[in-house]
Structure 1
């Protein structure tokens, strides 16, 4: 069996070979990672383990605090910020579980926007085709898992920032119920909508990382959970408009597989709740309004370094909104989340495409502002529902698409562990189908 240290050295050698044009990672912890890998190998030799994460190579998004260094969150402005006094809670929990933290991954500035580009630190090319966008905001996270420069990546998800890169890079991405995983030491975008979640090549790896970060025991994914009788709701309507034909075909094939094993599929309408949410946040999204508070100081005085206009524009517009607009949106959200919870009581999960489109080229996004805006809207449309209505969700790669696209399963608030068990079964089913 390969030692953890050998596995790590292969990854570090790959990263060293492209050091001149590194865009996936913004920082490497080679020496600390070597020490952690050696410690894991020593435990293994002694027959001791810290659990299922012990010796796993993990990358973390560039918005998690690591003691002794500034947290840059994809921005030039924070390069000179005061160093973090201590590790983010999730970073120390991962270390305690034996994870080998290899480095910090690139992201869109301040975790805003879903395309995955970064004007300051470069744009990581998609793991399947480097000329295509990685998806954001956890861009480097999705690519690092997809290309194999880590086993598990930790990202954040405010409107889809874990699941969008997972979908576009052909990996698994899990967004837990908000606040199950502590946000302490993670650079905020929206205190209400932010969640911290893992990306990996399997549901099991995501579940193990999620449990460590939430301070829980991992769910029993090895115990089969029969899909027979599982109630799957298909929210046809708004969330299925403008879906690429290849994505739609792969989704319908996946549904047929799930149905053939005995699950009950039923259309469920949520378009009224989506329309209500849209009108409640017409003047400003919750993420933009809460983000404007995080960034209020430099928005008022002017930035000390260049900021991506796709980030500064929406934030500065949201900063101008009066307080009652925000409070009303939040009150309406609470009522709509309760209504959605009731609506979903008739199903075990919702199933829909994670992203209605596959990754366009980086060049096309830079050349055509209208296309960029439309693409961003489509990338966020389906995933943001889970954040807006306070749900948990996971994206699984769908077999049979020329470019990667995800199948998203969504469950009610707090049903995370059950969702992971269902996802593990669906993953097994679709994997069998591939061979």
Structure 2
């Protein structure tokens, strides 16, 4: 059986061979990773384990603090930031669980935008076709798992930033209920919407990483019968403009799930989506809270080396008066309760994670209108889980040339049950 150190060396040598053109990783911790791999191998020999993540090769998004270094969050502006004093909470929990932390992955600047491009550090090519976008903001995370340079990668999800790259790179991505996993030591975008979640090859790996990060004892996911399970399909706005191939793959998945005896029914949420849109018409919660995070440099009005796709929306949102934000947040609280009530009649919602597959990097750079439209589509379905404080997971849909995900969404706090359902769906789709 291959040792963890041997597995690590294969990955490191693969990364060394492309070092001149590295866009997936921002930083590698080769020596620390070797030491962690050796320690895990020694424990394995002695018949001791720290749990299911012991010896698993993990990468972390470039917005998590690692002691004694600046957290750059995909930005040139933060290269000279004060070094972190301690590891982010999730980083120290992963280390304690025996994870081998390989490095920090690339991301969109300040975790804003869903395309996955970064004008400062380059855009990681999609794991399936390097000429295509990776999806963002956890771009490097999606590519790293998709190409096999990490077994698990930790991202953040404010409007879909874990699930969009998972969908476009053909891997699993889990967004937990917000605040289930501590945000301490994660560079913020939106204190209300930010959540920290894993990308991996399997639901079980995501569940193991989630448990460790949430401070729970990892436990195997007990199988859940799909027969009789109530699955709601939120047809309407969330199904518009869906690519033919994505819709066909979704219908195939639904057909397979239906054959198990699951109870599949249409459920309408369009009225709640319209009310949320109206409540956030002046500015999205992510942009308004992001505007506050970056208020100091935005207020100077001086030219800064920030991607205009990031600085533009942030500066517009920063100028929105406080009463507008407070009203939006009050309305959101009521709408979250209304959505929770609406979802009480089903176990999960099922819909395509992204209505489109990954377009080319060149097309996004050359056509501003197409880029805006694509970004809107990429975020449309995923952001619902953040806006309404739900948990959600994206699973790869089989038989697709370019990947897209099947998204399952559950009520606030139903994370473990969602993971159990997702594991059963995964087994069914893999069969």
Q: Show the counterpart of 2:110.
A: 110
Whether the 8 Å CA contact 2:8–2:57 is kept in 1: the answer is yes
Cα distance 1:208–1:214, how it changes in 2: closer, same or farther (>3 A)? same
Q: Which residue of 2 aligns with 1:283?
A: 282
Matches within 5 A, 1:338-417: 338-417=337-416
Q: Would the aligned equivalents of 1:74 and 1:107 in 2 still touch at CA under 8 Å?
A: yes
Q: Tell me, what secondary structure is at the counterpart of 1:93? A: helix
Structural mapping, 1:302-313, within 5 Å = 302=301, 305-313=304-312
Q: Does 1:420 align with 2:427?
A: no
Provide TM-score, normalisation by structure 1: 0.98
Distance (whole Å) between structure 2 residues aligned to residue 276 and residue 2 of structure 1: 54
2:429 aligned residue: 430
Partner Cα separation in structure 2 for residue 230 and residue 123 of structure 1? 41
Matched ranges for 1:13-412 at <5 A:
13-221=13-221, 223-302=222-301, 305-412=304-411
For the aligned residue pairs, the C-alpha RMSD in angstroms reads: 0.7
Distance 1:66 1:220 in 2: 29
Return 5+ residue gaps in structure 1 as ranges: none
Give the distance between the partners of 2:244 and 2:220, measured in 1 at CA: 36
Q: CA deviation at 1:402?
A: 1.4
Q: 2: distance between equivalents of 1:179 and 1:375?
A: 29
Q: Does the Cα contact within 8 Å between 1:229 and 1:264 map onto a contact in 2?
A: yes
Unaligned runs of 5+ in 2: none
- Give the conservation status (yes or no) of the 8 Å contact 1:77–1:304: no
Q: CA deviation at 1:302?
A: 3.9
Shift of 1:400: 1.4
Q: SS in structure 2 opposite 1:379?
A: helix
User: C-alpha distance in 2, partners of 1:359/1:37?
Assistant: 35
2:51/2:218 contact within 8 Å kept = no
**Matched pairs, number:** 431
Q: State whether residues 124 and 139 of structure 2, in contact with CA within 8 Å, keep that contact through their aligned partners in structure 1.
A: yes
118-127 or 302-311, which moves further after superposition? 302-311
Classify the secondary structure of the residue corresponding to 1:193: coil
- Distance in 1 between residues matched to 2:101 and 2:388, nearest whole Å: 32
Post-superposition offset of 1:218: 2.5
1:8, 1:214 → 2: CA distance?
26
Displacement of 1:73 after TM fit? 0.1
Name the SS for the 2:392 alignment partner: strand
The whole-number CA distance in structure 2 between the counterparts of 1:224 and 1:75 is: 42
1:3 aligned onto 2:29: no
What is the CA–CA distance in structure 2 between the aligned matches of 1:175 and 1:30, rounded to whole Å? 28
- Alpha-carbon offset, residue 219 of structure 1: 4.2
Q: In the TM superposition, what is the alpha-carbon distance from 1:220 to its structure 2 partner?
A: 3.0
Q: Any conservation in 2 of the 1:233–1:349 contact (CA below 8 Å)?
A: yes
* TM-aligned CA deviation for residue 301 of structure 1: 1.0
Instruction: Give me the TM-score of the superposition, normalised by structure 2.
Output: 0.99
CA contact (8 A) 2:158 2:190 kept: yes
